[in-house]
Amino acid sequence: MQLDLLFAALYTIVFYLAAFGLAFLFSWLSYWIFRKLQARLQARRGPPIYQPIADIIKLFGKERFVPKLANKTLYVLAPFIALTTILLLVYIIPPGYIGWPGGNSWDLIVILSLSLMFTFAFVIAGWVSASPWGKIGASREVSIMLSVELPLAITMLLPALALDRWGSTLSLSINEVMAAQASFHIFPWFPLLALPNWFIFYFPLAATSLFICLLTKAWMRPFGDIPEAEAEIFEGPLTEYGGPLLGVFEFARLFRFYVFTGLFVNLYLGGGDWLPFPLNIIVFLLKCLLIVIVMTIIHTASARYRIDHVFKWFLVVCLGLALFDLLRLMILGG
């Protein structure tokens, strides 16, 4: 019995380290591609591949300081809350592998909660840092959070609701959502035409809404970088952070490329499809990389919107797109 528990513990540790290593390497590569492609689109050369990690390592080599008027406990705790929540998301979100051991029957609810807590860590950081720029950035972060979470929740839960509506067991597991997409849809009026059974073909408006929400959660323009607009409020919630604590924040934000693109790919692009290991993981990462490239082009080509535009976009456009596909599912069955 004790030997079985020991093997189970070792398996969990090895499994999590493998998931962390995969997410870290992909996030490192994606962040470099993000900066390199952004530079090339702006007629610049861009950084070498080691630059994203070198910047973080440099921060850990600096002196730690805490503002005199800040709430010292929450000021130090906030970056570790962000890092813990994003690493838990890395553990839960499958890398295109159906039957991922890190999943469970209520994945989507956990992911929604952790992604909200990840964002809230930056709100805490800005609010307790005793900086006016930090408080303004935190208030903007809250405004975006209140606008994004409702359409984000609907579009994330829609594939699970579709499975229930189509006769499958209602499950909030990403593994179940991925398994439902691991086939082809053959059109009866043209048997030679077959498309992957991805949810993006059934709910294109909801997929578009989710993409915009995740683009914002990843701090990309036109909405995502409003809380830390450098030309207006310096670095927003992180204005008073520096040294190792800022390094923890930046290390946590590095994983956004894996977490948010992986979430979209698993829910609406079939994850790793029906392929065997390790081809399913390779296909999953290639899809995620394509999403990173699209996000980078949008980020580079877009201007930063005003904070009042956030409410109009997310509570009218994104929510409207999500509700349209939801009502179509409930009334017509998809």
Q: Which helix (H) or strand (E) holds 319?
A: helix 319-332
Contacts of 316 (CB under 8 A, 6+ apart): none
Here the tokens at position 334 are: 């998809």
> Where residue 99 falls among pLDDT bands split at 50, 70, 90?
confident
Please provide residue 186's backbone torsions phi and psi, each rounded to the nearest 5 degrees: -100, 130
Q: For residue range 249-274, what is the model confidence (pLDDT) as tens digits?
A: 999 999 999 999 999 999 999 888 88
Q: Give strand ranges (E) for the chain.
A: 184-187, 190-196
Selection from 152-166, 216-230, 303-317 with the highest mean pLDDT: 152-166
| pTM for this model (two decimals) | 0.92
Q: For residue range 184-233, what is the model confidence (pLDDT) as tens digits?
A: 765 555 555 667 889 998 899 999 999 999 999 988 888 877 777 666 65
Contacts of 102 (CB under 8 A, 6+ apart): 15, 16, 19, 91, 92, 93, 94
pLDDT at site 325: 93
Min mean pLDDT across 6-15, 189-198, 239-248, 275-284 is at 189-198
CB-neighbour burial class of residue 42 (10 A; exposed 0-12, middle 13-18, buried 19+)? exposed
pLDDT at site 123: 92
Here the tokens at position 192 are: 């030679």
Residue with tokens 């964002």: 119
pLDDT mean over 31-44 = 93
Structure-model confidence comparison of residues 248 and 190, the more confident one: 248
Question: Where exactly are the structural domains of the chain?
Answer: 2-332
Residue 309 has pLDDT above 90, yes or no: no
Selection from 90-104, 166-180, 306-320 with the highest mean pLDDT: 306-320
Q: For residue range 321-333, what is the model confidence (pLDDT) as tens digits?
A: 999 999 999 887 7
Displacement of CA 244 from its chain's centroid (Å): 24
Instruction: Transcribe 161-202 into DSSP letters.
Output: HHHHHTTSPP---HHHHHHHTSSEEEETTEEEEEEE--HHHH
C-alpha distances in angstroms, 77 versus 72, 120, 251? Answer: 8, 12, 15
Averaged pLDDT score across all residues of the chain? 87
Among residues 203, 209, 212, the alpha carbon closest in space to that of 328 is found at: 203
* Cβ atoms 155, 322 nearer than 8 A: yes
CA atoms lying within 13 Å on the CB side of residue 222:
12
